[in-house]
């Protein structure tokens, strides 16, 4: 990288000298003939180093130093000072100057100080990159640990159930057990479906990491999609006395990816089902206003504590202890991977929209998806 140096000095000969020698040392150079002009130029953000004379009329080098540092503390300032004013130079260093050069100028000293200064800039930026890399690695490691804890819990339960049911079916077929194999098989089917859903979530997460979802957009009637999701949950919710009501116009057209929009709504409803006690209520509200399509899912469930509300869209984040979940994903406080909302967020963003939540602990939550309408 070619570093840009701004030379601020009221002496023409110094500016001219710098314009001649700095490019020979590999620096880009610009000049300002007084402190005011120096500050204005430095504020353009084009320079990494400002080389300023201290003694200038009206706006001196210390003022340049203060104003430029206040604008951007990353800009390094080197002050030039005459012999006999060493205290001023020390004062400048206390105020944040990187170093000072004595006047009359020695080109060797000037080159050495400038080179040292850019080495420091490079080191600082490398350190910043390393700190950022470390932070990211720590995050990934935490995510990996959460992933292992949650998936091993969520996978172990259905796998144990499958093993148990296979045993039972064997007993049933050999006549030792009274239960009919068909009944056992239908329960087994439900567990296998749950397992397939987990694998499918994992697949979607991987797709997200490989550059987001590829959408296939078509004209949709969102009311049909909401009805489909409601029907899916109906058999389970009858037992839990947890009705789902749809509030919408007769038809609500939207151009989007059918599978993904249905998945997003399903994830929100599934969460309401899991986090609302029996005899509660779930509402799906669909509307269109000001060229925006709004899909809301409102429940009368346990709600989300205010200090967790920003975190729930993160992957593998669950407010409750995942190892204490009920094994069913449709029971109250049922299990999950903690990835549903991050998938919803990704689907909504890939459609150009946003998702938000309002919630009150113990009273319920409302998740709202806002999508820009496209020409159908
Ligand atoms: P999962 O549901 O698989 O745990 P999600 O990413 O869908 O993962 O949700 C993350 C967490 O957000 C849930 O574990 C739960 O703690 C909280 N949450 C999501 N939806 C609701 C809701 N409707 N009511 C209360 N808490 C919710």
Q: What is the whole-number distance in angstroms between the Cα of residue 258 and the centre of ligand 1?
A: 23
One domain, residues 236 and 187 = no
Q: Are residues 311 and 187 in the same domain?
A: no
Mean pLDDT throughout 318-346? 74
Q: Does residue 64's CB lie within 6 angstroms of at least one atom of ligand 1?
A: no
* pLDDT tens per residue, range 53-112: 999 999 999 999 999 999 999 999 999 998 667 888 888 999 999 999 998 889 999 999
CA dihedral 304, 306, 307, 309 (to 10 degrees): 60
- 254: β partners: 220
Residue 222 lies in a domain: yes
CB 341 less than 6 A from any atom of ligand 1: yes
| Pair (57, 159) in one structural domain | no
Whether residue 99 is found in the same domain as residue 19:
yes
Distance, CA of 333 to CA of 325 (rounded, Å): 6
Q: To test the ligand 1 pocket, which listed residue (264, 265, 271, 307) has its Cβ within 8 A of the most ligand atoms? A: 271
Q: Is the model more confident about 284 or about 199? A: 284
User: Distance between CA 77 and CA 80 in Å, rounded?
Assistant: 10
Residue 112 domain flag: no
Highest average pLDDT, of 136-150, 292-306, 326-340, comes from 292-306
pLDDT range class, residue 272, cuts 50, 70, 90: very high
CA–CA separation, 167 vs 211, rounded Å?
43
CA–centroid distance, 240 to ligand 1, in Å, is 19
Q: What is the pLDDT of residues 22-63, one digit of tens each?
A: 999 999 999 999 999 999 999 999 999 999 999 999 999 999
- Please indicate, yes or no, whether residues 226 and 194 belong to a single structural domain of this protein: no
CB 18 near ligand 1, within 6 Å: no
- Which residue, by CA, sits nearest to atom 19 of ligand 1? 271
| CATH at residue 275 | 3.30.565.10
Question: Is 125 part of a structural domain of the chain?
Answer: no
Examine the domain organization and report whether 189 and 67 are in the same domain: no
* Residue 320 forms part of a structural domain: yes
In terms of domains, do 312 and 360 share one?
yes
CATH number of the CATH domain containing 182: 1.10.287
pLDDT of residue 138: 87
In a domain, 122, yes or no: no
Q: Domain range spanning residue 56?
A: 4-105
Arithmetic mean of pLDDT over the chain: 89
Q: What's 93's domain CATH number?
A: 3.40.50.2300
User: Do both 45 and 12 map to the same domain?
Assistant: yes
Residue 203: predicted pLDDT:
82
Is 129 part of a structural domain of the chain?
A: no
Calculate mean pLDDT across residues 141-149. 78
Total domains, the chain:
3
Residues 297 and 239 in one domain: yes
Indicate if 328 and 344 belong to the same structural domain: yes
Tokens of 264: 């997003």
Residue 119 lies in a domain: no
C-alpha 134 – ligand 1 centre gap (Å) = 29
Atom of ligand 1 nearest to the CA of 299: 23
Given a cut of 70, whether residue 324 has pLDDT beyond it is no
The reply to whether ligand 1 has any atom less than 6 angstroms from the CB of 304 is: yes
76 lines ligand 1 (CB under 6 A): no
222 and 363, same domain (yes or no): yes
For residues 29 and 146, membership in a common domain is answered with no
């Amino acid at each position: 990288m070619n570093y840009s140096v701004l030379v601020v000095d009221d002496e023409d000969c110094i500016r001219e000298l710098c314009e001649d020698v700095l490019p020979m040392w590999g620096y880009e150079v610009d000049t300002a003939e007084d402190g005011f002009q120096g500050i204005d130029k430095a504020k353009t953000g084009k320079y990494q180093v400002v080389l300023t004379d201290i003694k200038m009329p009206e706006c001196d080098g210390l003022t340049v130093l203060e104003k430029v540092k206040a604008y951007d503390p990353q800009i390094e300032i080197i002050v030039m000072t005459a012999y006999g004013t060493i205290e001023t130079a020390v004062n400048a260093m206390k105020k944040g100057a990187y170093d000072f050069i004595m006047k009359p100028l020695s080109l060797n000293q000037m080159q050495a100080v400038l080179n040292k200064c850019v080495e420091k800039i490079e080191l600082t930026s490398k350190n910043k990159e390393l700190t950022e890399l470390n932070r990211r690695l720590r995050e990934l490691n935490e995510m990996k640990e959460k992933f292992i804890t949650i998936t091993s819990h969520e996978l172990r339960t259905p796998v144990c159930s499958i093993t148990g049911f296979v045993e039972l079916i064997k007993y049933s077929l050999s006549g030792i057990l009274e239960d009919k194999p068909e009944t056992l098989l239908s329960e087994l089917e439900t567990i296998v479906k749950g397992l397939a859903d987990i694998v499918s979530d994992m697949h979607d997460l991987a797709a997200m990491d490989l550059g987001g979802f590829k959408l296939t957009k078509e004209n949709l009637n969102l009311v049909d999609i909401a009805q489909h999701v409601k029907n899916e949950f109906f058999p389970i919710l009858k037992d839990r006395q947890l009705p789902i009501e749809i509030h919408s116009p007769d038809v609500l057209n939207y151009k989007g990816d059918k599978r993904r929009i249905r998945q997003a709504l399903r994830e929100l409803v599934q969460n309401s089902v899991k986090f609302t006690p029996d005899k509660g209520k779930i509402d799906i509200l669909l509307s269109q206003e000001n060229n925006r399509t709004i899909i809301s899912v409102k429940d009368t469930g346990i709600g989300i504590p205010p200090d967790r509300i920003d975190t729930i869209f993160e992957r593998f984040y669950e407010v409750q202890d995942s190892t204490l979940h009920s094994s069913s994903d449709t029971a109250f406080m049922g299990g999950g991977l903690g990835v549903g909302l991050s998938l919803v967020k990704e689907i909504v963003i890939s459609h150009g929209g946003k998702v938000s939540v309002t919630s009150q602990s113990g009273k319920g939550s409302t998740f709202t998806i806002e999508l820009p309408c496209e020409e159908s």
